[in-house]
Amino acid sequence: MTVRAERRAAEGAGTVTDPRLLRNVALVGPSGAGKTTLVEALLAHTGTIPRQGSVGDGTTVCDHDPAAVRQHRSVTLAVAPVRYRNLKINLIDTPGYGDFVGELRAGLRAADAALFVLPATAGADGVIDPATVALWEECAAVGLPRAVVVARCDQARADVESTQLACQDAFGAGVAALYLPTPPTPSAADPRHLPTPDGLYGLLTQGPGDPPAGAEEARATLLEGIIEQSEDESLMERYLAGETLDVDALIDDLETAVARGSFHPVVPVCAASGSGLDALLELLAGGFPSPLERPLPAVSLIDGGAHPGLAADPDGPLAAEIVRTSVDPYVGRVSLVRVFSGTLRADTAVHISGHVPAPRVSPEAGSDTSAGHDVDDRLSRLYTALGATLQETDLCVAGDLCALTKLTGAETGDTVSAADHPLLLRAWELPEPLLPIAVVPQERGEEDQLARTLAKLVAADPGLCLERSPETHQTVLWTTGEAHADVVLSRLREAGAHVETEDVRVPMRVTLGSAARVTGRHVKQSGGHGQYAVCHVEFEPLPRGSGFEFRSAVVGGSVPTQYVPSVEKGIRAQLDRGLPVDGAAHPVVDVRATLVDGKAHSVDSSDAAFQTAGALALREAAEVCGVVPLERVDEVAVRILDEHLGTVLGDLSARRGRVLGTDPTDTPGRTLVRAEVPAAELLRYQVDLRAMTSGTATFTRRFARYAQP
């Protein structure tokens, strides 16, 4: 990767026309690692912003969302481009907290490489915590090249060396120090002994200054790592023979190995003192891949037809993807876009495609989430986004990121292509929202406004799923966790919707308590046209999962043939309307009805009369046999670290769960537990499981059956 670029990028408004001059770098790591602060420091260091803001004060470029300011942590992804040399480096800040993994994945999608940021205290116990390893695995799953940044080096208990060793243990041998911090010079003026701004010693360049303790060993590890990755077979022999190796050639090999995703250099930085920022920028410029080196997402025609595939070519067909949608009080909907192929230009006709059959398989959330859309729209303006600040620009080439406004039909995950050449990119995988919250408008009559606001929210946030339950008459929002729920509620309130939350109700079923033969009698013969229908029906409960069965054993035409289906229809209608338990009606399942006898009248009998008689028969059966409540049971699959097995099994049994099996998974050290658990016991499982396993477990659930509690 030679980025000793030939061409100077266009000055002004952030426009770059050559993808080789672009870097898209996601900052990934646990909450509190210092990512947002690091972006802020890089922005200030490169002169992009005049003054460095702080997360605590809510004054950073990336944590501009009111929910982020309130939670003191990032809740969405944010983009901040910096200029370094003649490059435009789009820094993509992502939230580290598990609830926002949807935002993280969108950020990874927009990026070509990642800086994996850890606080220098992360390795204090000798191990990297499992939630952090899970984040590393998110990056690995999409094959993103990454370097490790050990941040917050100036803090109490900071230990760069042990953090780096713990990273090697957790992430593999491809992790090696590229720089070591130089020991701070004791000074009377600064009793904290902060590292000096350039307080790093380069292991490859062997400078500046004297090597700090351990430098020789660390250099050997680094060189061996690079040589192992190098295509130059003779390198190892020459190294072992003690030959002095050419530093520039080693740097080239390092770049190749990083871009390949198999080598992860470690750079310590301190955003507070500015130490390490130059080294980091050098690495991003020289060692990180340009958009040309990143495989592009799969693409098809919008009817699903095959497409030969795309390249990061500004002259290719336009294919861009919306990675984030937000609403600005002044400009309206803002869509953050990564251009994969072609060039986006202001004032052009585009096609917006969203076929995301969102893999939100949250069991209750079924139907109304996956409607696809295909619309033509017109781009009026293009912007470069610096956090929430938009600056107008005229074009955005393949590999770059920009913001578009007023695309009313566009949702996160949608493809933007040319109106005369519509394309569809295969969207990334979304997390499954598993924490339900039920919302009601504070005032009656605000239902419509709430529905409109919710529709907008769901369009912007693919991690959110909306369910309107006809059975419980509740509006349920499926979220990825409590912090996400908090963001959703604050967005609703910001949009002017006055809502309260209420307990989520789980739909119930009922069945009959015993068998009985009953009579449904609908006879009205006073005045005018009468109604006459009598049916004798035997009802019996069936095994769980049988549903409803209807038979006719009528002999001799006591119920005329044409009215037999009427009786069935009447019973079915009543099954759906339900039978009451504790004052509320619930749908009836697992029942057989056998029509055995009845009476009809030559003039007054009708389809409607026999339907009513059928319904009455079921209600009569409920009186005679009693009604038994059935609760919804789901099958859950929980992936956990082996060490949590005891806790998780104990908890499942406390939830009245029945374990179906515990099996090893493809990943060593992880177990898959399958169990059947009453849905009412799973309402807060997302939160509780996370707490029990320090955020390392994941689960899925799907409807299994209805069962007697």
Ligand X SMILES: Nc1nc2c(ncn2[C@@H]2O[C@H](COP(=O)(O)OP(=O)(O)O)[C@@H](O)[C@H]2O)c(=O)[nH]1
Binding site for ligand X (CB under 6 A): 29, 31-37, 54-56, 73-74, 96, 151-152, 154-155, 270-272
Q: Which two tokens stand for residue 239?
A: 């190294």
Minimum CB separation of residue 389 from ligand X in Å reads 19
Q: How many CB atoms lie within 10 A of CB 694?
A: 14
What tokens were used for 497?
């919707």
Nearer to ligand X, 146 or 522 (CB): 146
Which residues have CB under 8 Å from 605's CB, separation 6+? Answer: 531, 532, 533, 560, 563
| Shorter beta-carbon distance to Mg ion: residue 99 or 568 | 99
Nearest-approach distance from CB 93 to Mg ion, in angstroms: 6
Residue 318: how many CA atoms within 13 Å on its side-chain side?
Answer: 21
- Closest CB to Mg ion among residues 148, 407: 148
Check binding of 168 to Mg ion (CB under 5 A): no
Of the pair 101, 395, the CB lying nearest ligand X is at 101
Does 60 bind Mg ion (CB under 5 A)? Our answer is: no
Assess 566 for contact with Mg ion (CB under 5 A): no
Q: Measure the CA–CA gap between 40 and 295, rounded to whole angstroms.
A: 29
Residue 63 CB, nearest approach to ligand X (Å):
7
Q: How far apart are CA 395 and CA 587, in angstroms?
A: 58
User: Which partner, ligand X, Mg ion, none, binds residue 272 by CB below 5 to 8 Å per kind?
Assistant: ligand X
Q: Which residues of 381-399 are buried (b: 16+ CB within 10 A; e: fewer)?
A: ebbbbbbeebeebebbbbb
Cis peptide before 191 (omega within 30 of 0): no
Amino acid residing at 412:
T
DSSP code per residue over 346-387? SSEEEEEEE--------GGG-GGG---EEEEEEE--EEEEET
In whole angstroms, how large is the CA radius of gyration of the chain? 32
Instruction: Tell the smallest beta-carbon distance from residue 652 to ligand X (Å).
Output: 32
Q: Position of tokens 């009455």? A: 616
Q: How far is the CB of 663 from Mg ion (least distance, A)?
A: 37
CB burial string 515-546: b at 16+ within 10 A, e below: ebebbbbbeeeeeeeebbbbbbbbbbbeeeee
- Residue 671 touches which member of ligand X, Mg ion, none, C-beta under 5-8 Å by kind: none
What are the structure tokens assigned to 235, written together? 């390198």
Rounded CA-CA distance 249/626 in Å is 84
Q: Does 74 bind Mg ion (CB under 5 A)?
A: yes
Judged by beta carbon distances under 5 to 8 A according to partner kind, the member of Mg ion, ligand X, none in contact with residue 512 is none
Closest to ligand X by CB, 191 vs 527, is 191
CB under 5 to 8 A by kind: which of ligand X, Mg ion, none does 344 bind?
none
Q: Which does 155 bind (CB under 5 to 8 A by kind): Mg ion, ligand X, none?
A: ligand X
The one of Mg ion, ligand X, none whose footprint includes residue 469, by CB under 5 to 8 A per kind, is: none
In one-letter notation, the amino acid at residue 113 is A
Q: Closer to ligand X by CB, 150 or 407: give it.
A: 150
CA separation, residue 21 to residues 5, 8, 109, 566 (Å): 7, 9, 19, 74
449 binds, among ligand X, Mg ion, none (CB under 5 to 8 A by kind): none
- Nearer to ligand X among residue 91 and residue 630 (C-beta): 91
Query: Which value, to the nearest 10 degrees, does the dihedral of the CA atoms of residues 555, 561, 564, 565 take?
Result: 150
* Partner from Mg ion, ligand X, none contacting 351, C-beta within 5 to 8 A by type: none
Minimum separation from the CB atom of position 38 to Mg ion (A) = 9
- The DSSP secondary structure of 93-154, one letter per residue, reads E---SGGGHHHHHHHHHH-SEEEEEEETTTTTTSS--HHHHHHHHHHHHTT--EEEEEE-TT
CB 334 within 8 A of CB 361: no
Closer residue to Mg ion (CB): 117 or 180: 117
Query: 643 with 563: CB under 8 angstroms?
Result: no
Residue range at the interface with Mg ion (CB under 5 A); choices 36-44, 354-362, 566-574, 635-643: 36-44
Nearer to ligand X, 73 or 572 (CB): 73
Q: How far is the CB of 54 from ligand X (least distance, A)?
A: 6
- Residue 121 contacts which entry, ligand X, Mg ion, none (Cβ below 5-8 A, type-dependent): none
- The full DSSP string for 532-592 is EEEEEEEEEE--TT--EEEEE---TTSS-GGGHHHHHHHHHHHHHH-EEETTEEE-B-SEE
Instruction: Give me the least distance between CB of 281 and ligand X, in Å please.
Output: 16
Task: Tokens 């009205």: give the residue.
Answer: 524
Q: How far is the CB of 324 from ligand X (least distance, A)?
A: 17
Q: CB under 5 A: which stretch of 35-43, 377-385, 458-466, 553-561 binds Mg ion?
A: 35-43
Name the token pair of 706: 């209805």
Q: Least distance to Mg ion from the beta carbon of 33, Å?
A: 8
Residue 152 binds what, of ligand X, Mg ion, none (CB under 5 to 8 Å, by partner type)? ligand X
Shorter beta-carbon distance to ligand X: residue 170 or 534: 170
Shortest separation between residue 303's beta carbon and ligand X, angstroms: 42
37 binds, options ligand X, Mg ion, none, Cβ within 5 to 8 A by partner type: ligand X
Please identify, using beta-carbon distances, which residue of 36 and 48 lies nearer to Mg ion. 36
Tell me whether residue 36 or residue 121 sits nearer to Mg ion (CB atom): 36
Going by the DSSP 8-state scheme, the letter that residue 477 receives in this structure is E
In the list ligand X, Mg ion, none, the entry touching 33 (Cβ below 5 to 8 angstroms by class) is ligand X
45 binds, among Mg ion, ligand X, none (CB under 5 to 8 A by kind): none
Q: Which residues contact 609 (CB under 8 A, 6 or more apart)?
A: 522, 531, 532, 533, 566
| Residue 154 or 681 with smaller CB distance to ligand X | 154
Nearest distance, CB of residue 697 and ligand X, angstroms: 22
Q: Does 36 bind Mg ion (CB under 5 A)?
A: yes
CB of 62 to Mg ion, least distance (A): 7
Query: Smaller CB distance to ligand X: residue 76 or 335?
Result: 76
Q: Which is nearer to ligand X, 151 or 258 (CB)?
A: 151
Residue span binding Mg ion (CB under 5 A) among the ranges 71-79, 316-324, 328-336, 701-709: 71-79
- Nearest approach, Cβ of residue 223 and ligand X (Å): 29
709's contact among ligand X, Mg ion, none, with CB below 5 to 8 A by partner kind, is none
The pair of structure tokens assigned to 261 is 């995703």
- What amino acid is encoded at 228 in this protein? E
| Closest distance of CB 31 from ligand X, Å | 5
Q: How many residues make up the chain in this entry?
A: 709
**Binding at 536: pick from ligand X, Mg ion, none (beta carbon under 5-8 Å per type):** none
Pairing of strands 175-177, 264-268: parallel
Nearest-angstrom CA–CA distance, 174 and 264: 6
Binding site for Mg ion (CB under 5 A): 35-36, 74
